[in-house]
Amino acid sequence: MQNRWAETPAAELDQLVYQSRLIGAEEDLVLWGGGNNSIKSTAHDLLGKDVEVMFIKSSGSDMKSIVPKQFPAVRLDYIAPLRQRREEMSDQEMVDYLARCLTDPAGARPSIETLLHAFLPVKAILHTHADAILAITNTVGREQTVRACFGDSVSTVPYRRPGFRLSQEVADAFDAQPDAEGIVLMNHGLITWGATSEEAYARHIDLVSRAEAFLARSSRPSPVSEKRATINIPELRGLLGGRILELDDSPEVLAFLNRDDAARIAAIGSATPDHILHIKRRPLFVEGDLRANLAQHVEQYERWYRAHPSELAMLDPLPRVILVPSVGMFTAGKDARAARIMRDIYRHTIRIVTAAEGIDGYATLNDEDAFHAEYWPLELFKLTLLPKEKELAGKVALVTGAANGIGRAVAERFAAEGAHVVVTDLDVELAGELAQEIVDRHGLRRAIALRMDVADEASVDEAFNRAVRAYGGVDILVSNAGISSFGALDQLPVAEWDRAFAVNARGHFLAARAAMRVMKEQRLGGSIVFNASKNVTAPGKEFGAYSVSKAAEAQLCRIVALEGGEHGIRANMLNPDAIFDSRFWTPEMRAMRASAYGLDATDLPSYYRNRTLLKVEVTAADVAEAALFLAGPRSAKTTGAMVPVDGGVKEAFPR
């Protein structure tokens, strides 16, 4: 582990932020949102008087991106006396008390380990869950392994869940050996300190480096054999309740899964309480029949829960990590961000397990401690504070022809309502720009861009396969891609007729077929929204190829509704008209329609607006809003429907 300290900011709080980001940048040092650090300083109270305070990392903030406001200041004169004046303090009492110790009542909530930092009589403190340290503490020998690595240069504290008593025990360990270089918490991590943030950091890096060197010279290899397995990814996603999946088939993961003892050591369990909170106690290791494996996993979890009487209701027993030899590791989260965090955490687990098994055999929390780590009331309470989920939260929506116009508006609107969007288009560069905009606005992996030619069977199937590998499946298809085609029938080339049907009929068939296959494998139902046209019910003169091919799309929608109903797959269509902010209205199209009506091309939008009953212009955003309604739960009992989005064109009333 390299000491990367290269500068020393002038302000102590800025030094703390700098230290945090150095730690957060080291993948082997800290989990996402984990670790904590502090510095004791002074601040002004409401009367302008200097008071002793401690700036402490806020609960759940991420070290690699932390900012000063995420270090709330707590009054030490309120906190320090607790060590002598209280023998016990529940988690809730502690949280309530700390809220009253903030110099800014509106500040972020301080770390659950605030008292641990406050009770240590040192200025700067750093605590991480370094992989190398956990590999040494999570062994059969535990204490002996730590001593073999560090001798008597560190203090040790037996495992205890974070809280008041652990804070007291850490302070006691410091008092018993004040000249120690650090404190090792069994199954938990490492604490170091110093007169400055830089000194605490330097000690930390030194101890972690010594642990890494110990592991390197003490480890022994494990036998590896090539294992073969297959898995139906949409089926897996369906069995996991439709969570967003991420597949990691990196060499590191596959090497772990191909160990002869992979199933055994994976079943030992997660390394720390922080791991358990994210990825639960054990992964699902798939050997043989997936459904049978999952049923056994759930039964074991339920039995484990019943063995520990609790007033807390049983949590979801489904696994968050699924290990499939020769295929890779799947992580399942409520969204792509959660799945990525779980992926990163189990990568840490793999390194810890591999290293620990290589020196003294991997061991972790016992059943009782593991149960109370997962069923920690303080953490469960946080779940009740989460905001209400958006309409398409956790859904995967694939939109064809999504690079601009109606498709773009749909992709943006769905992403705003929580969907993970697969942006497909012939213009993959433009699709990529939109996907990046969605990611920048809504978060990690919330959109991907894929090239898709809806008229080409191989292209459609490849895009759906890649969507499945990216997210686990597809819940919504907005079959939007289409082309305009105009010309009198007696003048229309056959090639132009065929081109219209290739995109406006066959294209929708190929996309719908691929979507139905995935949706049936998931067994979660699904929604398919076809962007048809006003021309389905009111065809236009010199629009024969377009009108007839769109009528075929409408009939396809009805057939999808008929065949998909028993599988919970809904199919509905939108009939928009005169959407001038779409690529349908090319300069050639505008000129042709203006000529047909004896108008100047610039007067065309006004003409179409005035022919509607509502005297309004319909935009791509209006169509996207209707698509959202048909795709989401508000229309859960609607299928086979035709919804005009045209401002009221009486000739196009559905009949």
Give the 3-state secondary structure of residue 193.
strand
DSSP code per residue over 237-301:
HHHTTS-EEEEE--HHHHHHHTBTTHHHHHTT--SSHHHHHHH-S-PEEP-S-HHHHHHHHHHHH
Give me the residue label for tokens 């050591």.
Answer: 265
Contacts of 41 (CB under 8 A, 6+ apart): 12, 13, 52, 53, 54, 55, 73
- Order of strands, edge to edge, in the sheet holding 189-194? 73-75, 50-56, 36-44, 124-128, 189-194, 182-185, 154-157
Closest-CA residue to 15 (of 31, 37, 43): 37
CA 341, 463, 228, 219 dihedral sign is negative
SS3 annotation, 135-176:
HHHCECCCHHHHHHHHCCCEEEECCCCCCHHHHHHHHHHHHH
Please give the single-letter amino acid code of residue 621. Answer: A
> Alpha carbon of 274 to those of 81, 280, 372, 423, 424: distances in Å?
28, 9, 12, 35, 38
521, containing H or E segment: helix 507-522
Closest-CA residue to 580 (of 543, 620, 612): 620
Q: Which residues are catalytic?
A: 546
Give me the residue label for tokens 């003294």.
Answer: 360
Closest-CA residue to 114 (of 54, 170, 171): 54
CA 449, 450, 451, 455 dihedral sign is negative
- In angstroms, the CA 385 to CA 372 distance is 21
Q: Which structure tokens are listed for 9?
A: 């900011």
Parallel, antiparallel, or unpaired for β 476-479 and 396-399? parallel
CB 68 within 8 A of CB 21: no
- Report the interhelical angle of 405-416 vs 428-442 (nearest 10°): 20
Closest-CA residue to 276 (of 441, 387, 162, 432): 162
Q: Which structure tokens are listed for 203?
A: 């000690």
CB 115 within 8 A of CB 79: yes
